[in-house]
Amino acid sequence: MAERTAEAEWKGNFMEGQGRMKFGSGAFDGKYDFRSRFENGAGTNPEELLGAAHAGCFSMALSAGLSKAGYAPKRVHTQARVHLAKQDSGFTINRIDLTSEAEVPGITPEDFQAQAQAAKAGCPVSKALAGVDIHLTAKLV
């Protein structure tokens, strides 16, 4: 099966240092620092990249499930909101909210919700994040 790579390098101390993350494919190369991760500074952060991975995985899994069930999805758009919380033991990702809307001709709302829940449970990124509380809001348009 496929194996994907990514890498990161951090230079300096926690508060004033800076880092760079990049995908092995070369499709992404971005800077991050304390401000982009824990405040609203410019740059990216691991949580944003995790959210993109989860949204992409879920959208594709939902499309696959719908197709397998005999539907022809026109569009699946998903946003992931990754919550980073400070706890006594340090920072943790304690919740991910997936908000998805899909255009699927001929499907009932009940069948759509069942497919969305199955995609949430079956998406490989969701499985990898099993320790995180993942909430899904799925809307048929």
Question: How much helix, strand and coil, in percent to the nearest 5, is found in the chain?
Answer: 35, 35, 30
Structure tokens at 36: 């982009």
Per-residue confidence of the chain (141 residues) as pLDDT tens digits? 889 999 999 999 999 999 999 999 999 999 999 999 999 999 999 999 999 999 999 999 999 999 999 999 999 999 999 999 989 999 999 999 999 999 999 999 999 999 999 999 999 999 999 888 999 999 999
CA-nearest of 97, 92, 101 to 82 is: 97
Whether this model's pTM surpasses 0.95: no
Q: Tell me: the pLDDT tens digits for 88-122?
A: 999 999 999 999 999 999 999 999 999 999 999 99
DSSP character for 72?
Answer: -
111 and 53, same domain (yes or no): yes
Look up the domain containing 24 and give its range: 6-38
Strands 18-23 and 29-33, bridge-based pairing: antiparallel
Q: How many independent structural domains does the chain possess?
A: 2
**Is 1 inside any structural domain?**
no
Q: Which are the contacts of 11, defined by CB distance < 8 A and separation ≥ 6?
A: 17, 18, 19
Residue 137 · residue 99 · CB < 8 Å: yes
106 and 89, same domain (yes or no): yes
Residue type present at position 101: E
71 and 132, same domain (yes or no): yes
Per-residue confidence (pLDDT) for residue 34, from 0 to 100: 95
26 and 92, same domain (yes or no): no
